Amino acid sequence: MAPTVDDFLHDGSEAFHASLAAQLEASRGQAMPQMEIRFQDLFISAEVAVATKDGHELPTLYNHAKKMVMGLFHSKRSIRKDVLHPMSGVFKPSTTTLVLGQPGSGKSSLMKILSGRFPMHKNITVGGSMTFNGAPIYKVQHQLPQFVAYINQRDFHYPTLSVKETLEFAHACAGGAAVPQRVLDSLQYGSPEENAQAKSLIQSLYNVYPDIITRQMGLEICKDTIVGNGMLRGVSGGERKRVTIGEMEFGMKQVSFMDEIS
């Protein structure tokens, strides 16, 4: 009989993860993959156009024509603004790092640039170095979303879906109950019994993973309630934030950047 959610979480989340890692590592023949992120003298700056008094004139046809003519003879004035001052650091595996700073100090920009979500435009300049397990970012740029998750400050959901439906949809978008072949191929370096047990375990985990996330996030009491938004009443703000965190746990991410989750 396949393990249920109660079987997986009978002794708590910490024991569940420890037991899961032990069985998978026995079949893999090596430790579970982890990610170390290092950045050296990382900075972000942007060229920003400076507003002029012309912007306060009435939007008449005459003023619009005058601005167009003046624009032919005057170049736009711009200044360079520091989005993130040069900084260095390291995020080590199996650790939790709390990033503190005043509003506008660049906390979100740091998380976005390290997770590959920072919007890059021609007026943006990024300097310094970033490495992921020793590999420079240009070598793993396109693979970053596969192992690094960024949890936004705002909660974007389909408001009419229930909590359960939202998490199941996130699970389906990450592959659903189908275990990736690369995962199954990695479980062949132990004894035949260990390999068979690990493959059966990971398949059972994928089958009930949305329910496990629901239990771990403390959302069972509201799993059948719609998520809602500012115009449609649903779960509370704290519960909605936990839904956001939970849906980003799918896909076997190795690093999670959580932006103002409290």
Name the packing angle between helices 163-173 and 237-247 (round to 10°).
20
Residue ranges per structural domain of the chain: 5-32+153-258, 37-53+60-132
Q: Which of 146, 137, 213 is nearest to 182 (CA)?
A: 146
Q: Do the beta carbons of residue 173 and residue 250 sit within 8 Å?
A: yes
Tell me which residue has tokens 């003519």. 69
Q: What is the pTM of this model?
A: 0.80
**% of the chain beyond a pLDDT of 70:** 94
pLDDT at 2: 75
Q: Are 171 and 250 in contact (CB under 8 A)?
A: yes
Which pair of structure tokens corresponds to residue 130? 């970033």
Q: Which segment of 31-45, 54-68, 155-169 scores lowest on mean pLDDT?
A: 54-68
Instruction: For 236-249, write each residue's pLDDT tens digit.
Output: 999 999 999 999 98
State how far the alpha carbon of 130 is from the alpha carbons of 54, 79, 115, 121, 141, in Å. 42, 26, 11, 19, 11
What is the rounded (10 degree) CA torsion for 204, 210, 215, 221?
-140
* Amino acid letter, 57: E
Per residue in 142-167, pLDDT tens? Answer: 888 888 999 988 888 999 999 999 99
Provide the angle, in degrees to the nearest 10, between the axes of the packed helices 192-216 and 163-173.
Answer: 140
